[in-house]
Amino acid sequence: MTKFESDVKVIPYPQDRVYSKLSNLYNLESVKDRLPQDKVKDVIFDSDSLSFNVSPIGEISLKIVEREPDKCIKLESTKSPMPFNIWIQIVPVTEEECKIKVTLGVELNPFMKTMVQKPLKDGLEKMVEMLSMIHY
């Protein structure tokens, strides 16, 4: 399993509020309009899963497989060209501020790794940046 980690972002909201919002995927509906419309389409959310179509990859579906209250949300792909998982980690800084980091784990052969490493890392950075801008 190859792991990619985003930069750590500081969020000006308490850890429990950030976790509470992100642990229910339906709450991500509010960021739907921030997604690049030319690349991400057909976004569908419920509390435990989300699916979307990414150009040129195709349909991707994820579901939450584990919630560790206030600290971590683990998601796993249920439909994807290659299986992967995502961990969203939330760590307190102060009572009114926390840090967030997103880790992606994906099975890649060495050839694929060199091809997709940069786009995956860029996508991860965009994801953590978007999560850091949500109003919690």
Over 80: is that where the pLDDT of 35 sits? Answer: no
For residue 114, CA distances in Å to 33, 65, 80, 97 come to 31, 29, 19, 36
Over 90: is that where the pLDDT of 38 sits? Answer: no
**Average pLDDT estimate for 28-42:** 78
Place of tokens 């991860």: 124
The pLDDT, as a whole number, for residue 136 is 92
User: What percentage of residues in the chain have a pLDDT greater than 70?
Assistant: 100
Residue ranges of domains in the chain: 2-133
Per-residue DSSP letter, 88 = E
* Residue 89 CA neighbour count, 13 Å, CB half: 11
The pLDDT, as a whole number, for residue 43 is 86
Place of tokens 């960021």: 31
The amino acid sitting at 104 is L
* Cis bond upstream, residue 56 (ω within 30): yes
Least confident of 14-23, 38-47, 83-92: 38-47
CATH class given for the domain over 2-133: alpha beta
